[in-house]
Structure 1
Amino acid sequence: MTLQEEVSKSILKHESDVLEYKAVLPPSKSIAQIISSFANTSGGLLILGVTEIGGLKVSGLSEDFRATSITHKALDLLSPKPIVDYGYVQYEGKKLFAITVKKSQVIISVEGRIYKREAAKTVLTNPVSNILSPGGYPRIASINDSMELLKEGTTDSKFKILEHYQSMIKIVDTLKQLLYPQGPSSYTNDKEGKVLTRIIYSSVVDSFETYLSDVLFEIYLAKPQTLKSEQLVKVEDVLNCSDIQEFITFWAKQKVSKLQKGSVKGFISDNKQIKDLNAMDAITQNEIEKILQIRHLYAHRNGIVDDKFIKYFPVGHISGSEHQLCIDEVLNKIEYLSSIADKIDKAAIKKYSLSTI
């Protein structure tokens, strides 16, 4: 049976363990996960260009970005590579992209992770262990449980930041004697504990920036027209990228560069895709800007307060003094940034029909 025949036979049937639809082009990693799940179960068919909002509807897939190159990237993530067929097909005058996957006799993994199909869902069968210390700080277990709930119906971008945050709180849980020997609301006096607290905090904030870059990438893939603008691009930058996916990743990271300088408002102003979501009001932007300034202080000055920092925090700080956060304050930032990512994610999924996992 040809790919065209396979699509004609299956299209507009309900999703199942052998059939999945996506309205838009997902990132290569999401495609790889679906292919892995089909190969490890009964085989299956992925059709891009069919929306499920308000009932199944063939919407077609934009050709502005080539789905073939994204699929090649997905296959490169698989080990070993399963038997697949893929390409553009026609249905009622609209162009779709389809990938059919044969059942594999060996386990197919995506960067060491194994997926299977359960009904109409792709499920990770070997998740990273998040076992916490028995009798540990109860708030850590509570945050971990909240992260698990936030993983439902999320983009791949948000899933990654939540997993990273779970890894961070697991470190906090494990290293109590270094990070909060006198309790989570008290500063540690341990030299190595202070360094580690700064590292954890910086990693938490860096991951939020990475999330914004990743979700921009997903929006560009889903709605390629949002990438089009009159902004100048260096030919060298284009030629340094091997394909369109690599260029989009590069461009998304360039857009986030203003965040690295602490300019949240500049970032939102430069990125209509994020601005139009209305997910970060003025109060939120100011709060994130302060969070970023603490990260800059930790990453570049080992926590020693300078005059620039005092401009953002004029009360309670002296130039040359050491800035510290207790673990409860770090956990507050993890919860806060998770909630902002969740708000952005839900708005982006709704507005741009992003793929979810």
Structure 2
Amino acid sequence: MDFIKEVDQQIGLPESSHLEYKAVLPPSKNIAIEIAALANSEGGFIILGISDKGELVGLTPDQPANSITHKALELLSPQPNVIYQFVHSAGVRLYAIRVNKSSEVVYLEGKIFKRDGPRTFLENPPITSFRSNGYKRLAILNISLEGFKKNATNAKVKVIEHYQSVLKIFDDLGGILYPQGPNITTNNAEGQILTRILYSSYVDNFETYLSDLLYEIFLAIPASLKSQQTVTIEEVLNCSDMQEFIRYWAKEKLAKLQRGSVKGFIEDTDQIRSLKVIEKKEIKEMEDTLQIRHLYAHRNGVVDEKFIRYVGGQFQLNQVHTMAMEEICNRMEYLIEIINKLDSASIKKYRLAISN
């Protein structure tokens, strides 16, 4: 049967074990998950430009659907047999991918995805256990993070998985990170170094989340990338395709945030500012969190004049900044709250694809 006719027969049907709709163009990993799930089940169709309620939204000509699909297939092993192209229905531009059932298990980063009705699920989720005599808060926070993966963007799932890995390290290395208890800063030299590294890691990944979120927004709505800001020919030519340029530009948006200016980042990034979910008091807390990261990553925790200007006079010049595990977890939970608010608002405003 003709491919376009096959797609026409799917349009209007509810999502099922062999049919998945996406309102917008999602990142390649989201597409890879859906392709793998269909290939590991009975095969089927992924149609982009239709909401999960069956509303024809459509894609714009500047959305790099072919490039995204190519990169999605590169993530899979072995690559299943698929057909994909743009199609039109009722005057709306859509993008359809037909996935054939695979005779072999298709893996995505070692994970096996399958379909259960209209739902895609992970068949072999990792099992993480925490010490029964460890800091109980870590296990509780890990359970909360697992729940936060539901109805989340790929950007959010990615940062949550990193945070869960950090929590596991906190638990495994409690003997040097908080030997006298979570409320007391470790006096172990190696523990202090590792604390700074782990803290910097999860704050860095908060910034990565913002970059990935902007990337998903730009993919979904390419027009939101347009601005009066200039780019050089070299910047454009250094990117192999439009998808790579979008990711590059999303990272460029973070320049002010990486210097500790959360307010400047929000003011210059309409995609985040227009969500109106970050309050003024939260901006100050975010800036303090980022400044501590800068101190840990570049000054080995030694307080300088710039840090004192940002956070106030409770610290002395050349004092070594330290944190107990309880405060480290407090700051992680704070960033998670910001991520949750940004993610929910972005999904609603920009109709971003939800990662399974």
Q: TM-score, normalised by structure 2?
A: 0.98
* 1:190 alignment partner, one of 188, 194, 197: 188
Contact 1:297 1:303 in 2 (8 A): yes
Deviations 1:308-327 (A, max 9, x none): 11112323211111100000
Distance in 1, Cα, partners of 2:2 & 2:187: 68
* 1:294 alignment partner, one of 292, 295, 303: 292
Paired residue type of 1:40: N
Q: CA deviation at 1:57?
A: 1.2
Partner residue of 2:354? 356
Q: CA deviation at 1:127?
A: 2.5
Distance in 1, Cα, partners of 2:185 & 2:3: 62
Aligned to 2:179, the other structure's residue is in SS state coil
Distance in 2, Cα, partners of 1:260 & 1:129: 34
Deviations 1:65-100 (A, max 9, x none): 221111111111111110000001111111100000
Partner residue of 1:148? 146
* 2:128 alignment partner, one of 127, 130, 146: 130
Deviates more, 1:124-133 or 1:93-102: 124-133
Unaligned runs of 5+ residues in structure 2 are none
Distance in 2, Cα, partners of 1:181 & 1:74: 45
Q: CA deviation at 1:118?
A: 1.6
Paired residue type of 1:246: E
* 2:57 alignment partner, one of 31, 42, 59: 59
Partner residue of 2:278? 280
Paired residue type of 2:32: A
Partner residue of 2:159? 161
Partner residue of 2:217? 219
Q: CA deviation at 1:132?
A: 1.3
Partner residue of 1:260? 258
Deviations 1:31-63 (A, max 9, x none): 0110000001111100001123xx421121111
Equivalences for residues 18-37 of structure 1 within 5 A: 18-37=18-37
Q: CA deviation at 1:126?
A: 2.3
Q: CA deviation at 1:135?
A: 2.6
Q: CA deviation at 1:273?
A: 0.5
Aligned to 1:344, the other structure's residue is in SS state helix
Distance in 1, Cα, partners of 2:204 & 2:151: 23
- Residues 1:48 and 2:38 are matched in the alignment: no
Deviates more, 1:333-342 or 1:126-135: 126-135
Aligned to 1:90, the other structure's residue is in SS state strand
Partner residue of 2:39? 39
Aligned to 2:321, the other structure's residue is in SS state coil
Partner residue of 1:345? 343
Q: CA deviation at 1:270?
A: 1.2
Paired residue type of 2:54: L
Unaligned runs of 5+ residues in structure 1 are none
Q: CA deviation at 1:228?
A: 1.1
Q: CA deviation at 1:250?
A: 0.5
Aligned length: 355
Deviates more, 1:346-355 or 1:119-128: 119-128
Contact 1:23 1:355 in 2 (8 A): yes
Q: CA deviation at 1:190?
A: 0.3
- Residues 1:232 and 2:230 are matched in the alignment: yes
Distance in 2, Cα, partners of 1:281 & 1:316: 24
Paired residue type of 2:40: N
Deviates more, 1:96-105 or 1:116-125: 116-125
Contact 1:3 1:89 in 2 (8 A): no
Distance in 1, Cα, partners of 2:141 & 2:168: 11
Partner residue of 2:70? 72
Distance in 1, Cα, partners of 2:211 & 2:180: 38
Paired residue type of 2:29: K
Distance in 2, Cα, partners of 1:101 & 1:75: 11
Partner residue of 1:181? 179
Distance in 2, Cα, partners of 1:126 & 1:335: 27
Paired residue type of 2:15: E
Q: CA deviation at 1:26?
A: 0.4
Deviates more, 1:232-241 or 1:126-135: 126-135
Deviates more, 1:117-126 or 1:222-231: 117-126
Aligned to 1:297, the other structure's residue is in SS state helix
Partner residue of 1:8? 8
Contact 1:130 1:167 in 2 (8 A): no
Runs of 4+ in 1 over 6 A off after TM superposition: none
Structure 1 vs Structure 2 CA RMSD: 1.0
Aligned to 2:184, the other structure's residue is in SS state coil
Distance in 1, Cα, partners of 2:80 & 2:136: 44
